[in-house]
Structures are given as C-alpha cells and as structure tokens.
Amino acid sequence: MKFNLFILPTIPATFEERERLRPIGRNNDKYQQMLQEVRDLAQMADDLGFDAMSTTEHHFHSEGYEASVAPLMLYTDLAARTKRIKFASLGLVLPTWDPLRVAEEVAVLDHLTKGRFIAGFARGYQDRWTNVLGQHYHVTGAPMDGSEVDAHNRAVFEEVFKIMKMAWTQDTVRFKSKYYEVPAPYEEGIRRWPVAKNWTAKYGAPGEVDENGYVQRICVIPKPYTQPHPPIWQPFSVSEKTIRWCATESILPWILVSHPPSFRQLCEAYRDEAAKAGRRLELGQNVGAFRSIHIGNTYTEAYTLGAQAQGTGFIEYFSGFGFFEAYRFPGETGPIPHTYERMVEAKYELVGTIDDIKRELDALRQNSHIEWFGWYFDQGLMGWDETKRQIELFATQVMPEFRD
C-alpha cells in the first residue's frame, strides 16, 4: 500500500471555543495556529514515510471547520518545508474555476515542486460557496441525485476538465462549447493584438495568429513538469457511475463506501471499466480506500477518542450533506442511522489498539488489494499532543507492515 494523510484543514478549537469565538474563521491568532499545525504535520508525515498529504478546497467556512481556502498556495508553502512527500488536492472544485487558469496554476505548482503534486478534482456539493463562486456557469452545488441541477453541475465539471487537459497536452487550444470558448470571440478571433505580426507570428506558437494578425488559438504556459500531466485523483466516490467514469479517464478514485462487500464490488467495477478502455489492472490497482482511524491502549479508549473527534464532526456536519449514504448496507432501505456506531459497523471508522488496526488493514488488503490507503485525520479536533501521538503510532507501528 501507499499512504495518504488527509486533513480538512481545521482551525484548532473545541466546539465551546468555536461558539465563544464566532466567527472563529476570521480569528487571525487561531488561523495562524492552524497553519503551524498543518506545517508541523506535513513535516512529520514527510519524515515518517507517508507518500502524500491532501486537503479539500472550501470557502466561507466561518465555523473554522474545513478552512481550506487557496489549497494550491498552501501546498507551495508546505512543499518548500518538506523533501519528498507529495501533495494532493481532494479536490479543486472545477465548476468554480476557469479551465485555463486552473491549468496554469496546477502546471506552475507542478514545476515549483518538481512533480510533487497530485491533481484531484471534485464537482462541489456545498451550495453556500459553490453557488457564489460558480455563478459564471450558473452552477450550484451538486445534490448528487440525478436531477437537472445535478446534471448541469456534472456537465460543467466535465467540460472544464476537458479544456484543462487540452491546455496541458496541446501547444495551442481552440475550442467552443456551451459554456466556454477559446479564443473569445471564437468565430472572428481576437483582433486587438497589435504585436501579432512582428512578435507573436515570429516568436509565439505556430497557428496562434492568422494571416490577418487575429488571435485564433491560445497557448497556455507552462506545460506541466510531469508529462503529460500530474496524476489525477477524484474524491470521494460513492456511485458506481462516477467510479466507472474515473476508470475511463485513468483517474484514481478515493472510495468513501466502506462496507467490505460493497467496497470490493466498486473496485471490481473500476477494474472492469478500465479493461474496456484498454487498461489491464489488477483488483485494487489505482484505487484508494478512504477511512478514519483512532488508536488507543484499549479498544474502549480508541472508540471514545474517535467518538469525540471524528464522530462529533462527521455526524453534526457531514451527515447533513448525505455522506452517510456511503455506509448503507446491501439491501438496506430507508434512512441510514447517523451514528458513530454505524461508522464503525460499516468499517469506515477503524478503532482499537495497534493490533486491532493491523487486523483491519490486513482485512482490507485481503478484500481488494488496494494500492492506496487514505487516513482521514482529525487535525484541529484533537489536542496537539494526541495529534502527534496518533500519527507517530500509526506511521511507526502499522505502516511498515503494509508498505509496498
């Protein structure tokens, strides 16, 4: 296995402090404390042998939970403080980005880190900010229900994704569709480019300007350091449709579904769809399992720690967005219990002693031979001493038995 340490990141505070210091997201002292924790975790993860570290992209989180603004800037800072670990966006919400700007910024980060960036992309599910930053496409958060609103979000995502990959892999781009055109205006080209004939025609990319000096194609620079582009990840997969799409695009899906038979079924769907696209993969190859872990001296100690951190945050927050659908058992109908017990029963939350965690990871490996294991780590919800203890225990006493 390879190991990815995932954090939101979160401004460190108890829930009582979040209420007393509201809006804690605008508290500069607490934000600086979060940055230092994230920096320290990145350096620890680098030294302890994690292969990657990842965060989300979210905005306007006044509550200080998922304070993951400007992730590419954060990775630039973290990469300068580390030596070998890679950084992954899980993920940049493409329906809120301009496709050429995201292509540029990812390529620049890929150069700055010399290939230590993994590009993860998501559709966006939170209306509070997706509606605002995605308004140029008239897109909203994806309700993931197959509705017209959901379909529009997916269409925009796939178009931005397509244009971005064109910018990475083609020296010049000319494209027009429902949502975007290059150049703009597309039909007549860009006419006010006074240096077209004596500058761009001589030094620019072939075909950028026509015989009249009109810009007809755009050259996006730089091309990525990693060729043809950085590896691509997709968070956090629940539907078989999404996983099959990832397989056709050679994208690594991070599967949130955790019940072992259901998880294996999705791994098989990925392998089978990849084969249709001409990629022969072993079961679990290019697939990531996304789980939470809490370690204690006893099972009860670990269970209590997880219930106080992951349980509280996940149940009170993520359950409102439908994430508990990932923990539905086969044949189960009706509402899913929004409880910590269900998270444990579904094998998303792995708790116990070092030996308990080893048994859980071994069972996961036997189930589907996954290439990547992602640890949803509770940065910001545990005290700093406990935070360090958890990562050190896992990295020194569990990871070595499962590494490739």
The answer to whether residue 364 is domain-embedded is yes
Determine contact, residues 241/151, Cβ cutoff 8 Å.
no
Percent of the chain with pLDDT over 90: 96
- The angle formed by the CA atoms of residues 119, 122 and 126, to the nearest 5 degrees, is 140
Q: Which two tokens stand for residue 372?
A: 């990547």
Q: How far is it, in rounded angstroms, from Cα 352 to Cα 334?
A: 30
The answer to whether residue 383 is domain-embedded is yes
Determine contact, residues 343/314, Cβ cutoff 8 Å.
yes
pLDDT tens string 27-39: 999 999 999 999 9
Measured in degrees and rounded to the nearest 5, phi and psi for residue 193 equal -135, 80
β-bridge mates for residue 92, sequence order: 121
CATH number at residue 384: 3.20.20.30
Question: What is the value of pTM for the model shown?
Answer: 0.96
Domain count, the chain: 1
Measured torsion, CA atoms of residues 154, 157, 162, 168, in degrees rounded to the nearest 10:
-160
Helix or strand or coil: residue 235? strand
- The angle formed by the CA atoms of residues 340, 343 and 348, to the nearest 5 degrees, is 145
Measured in degrees and rounded to the nearest 5, phi and psi for residue 289 equal -100, 130
The answer to whether residue 148 is domain-embedded is no
Nearest Cα neighbor of 57 from 101, 80, 88 is 88
The answer to whether residue 356 is domain-embedded is yes
The answer to whether residue 272 is domain-embedded is yes
The answer to whether residue 294 is domain-embedded is yes
Report the pLDDT value the prediction gives residue 101, as an integer from 0 to 100: 98
Q: How far is it, in rounded angstroms, from Cα 16 to Cα 22?
A: 10
The answer to whether residue 330 is domain-embedded is yes
Report the pLDDT value the prediction gives residue 185, as an integer from 0 to 100: 97
The answer to whether residue 209 is domain-embedded is no
Three-state SS annotation for 298-312? CHHHHHHHHHHHHHH
Helix or strand or coil: residue 276? helix
Q: How far is it, in rounded angstroms, from Cα 268 to Cα 270?
A: 5
Report the pLDDT value the prediction gives residue 25, as an integer from 0 to 100: 97
Q: How far is it, in rounded angstroms, from Cα 155 to Cα 55?
A: 24
pLDDT tens string 180-190: 999 999 999 99
257: phi > 0 → left, psi -120 to 50 → alpha, else beta; which?
Answer: beta
DSSP H or E run through 376: strand 372-376
- The single-letter code of the amino acid at 12 is P
Q: How far is it, in rounded angstroms, from Cα 376 to Cα 342?
A: 17
Low-confidence ranges of the chain (pLDDT < 50): none
42 lies in which domain range?
A: 2-90+231-401
